Amino acid sequence: MLNSYVGGIKALHRASNRQKAWFENGVACFITSHEVTVDPSGNSVPMPVEGLFARCVALLSNKSVAAIVLVIQTDELLYSGLPVDRLDSLEVSEEPLSAWSSEEHSESSKPRRDELLKMLTSFSHFSQAVSMSDHDIEVYGSELAV
């Protein structure tokens, strides 16, 4: 199972809720962003690699990982591609993304963000991403709703 959340702090919060729901159901779920990876107990996992793509590949090769929650906070995947052939769910907040190519990770442009969302949607099990709001957020493509 591979869930994905696009955005900033809201996306990270939603990903954490998803991980907790999986954990409560006995599923070994890890969260990863381009900067941090968190195990099912909520502990940071040191990784010898940088970036979302490399961290995801590392988790995919770990036999103890049953589910992965991707937190996509940069436009990195436009450069690297997605390390999987399908996303089981995709939620998007209106928060800006950082530009992967910038050393300061400045804000990515709207056209780059739109291009990334189009790419991610093409990998999603569903034809459209779900927008995150501060209220009722439906989660499509997963058995557990947060």
Three-state DSSP string of 58-93:
HHHCCCCCCEEEEEECECCHHHHCCCCCCECEEEEC
Question: What would the pLDDT profile of 51-108 be if each residue is shown by its tens digit?
Answer: 999 999 999 999 999 999 999 999 999 999 999 999 999 999 988 898 887 665 577 7
Answer whether 55's CB lies under 8 Å from 37's CB: yes
Q: Which residues pair with 92 in a beta bridge?
A: 6, 131
Question: What would the pLDDT profile of 106-130 be if each residue is shown by its tens digit?
Answer: 777 888 889 999 999 888 765 444 5
CA-based nearest residue to 140, from 75, 105, 90: 90
Residues 57 and 52: their CA atoms lie apart, in Å, by 9
Q: Domain boundaries in the chain?
A: 2-131
Whole-model pTM: value is: 0.83
Q: Are strands 29-32 and 37-38 parallel, antiparallel or unpaired?
A: antiparallel
Q: Could you count the other beta carbons within 10 Å of the beta carbon of residue 26? A: 9
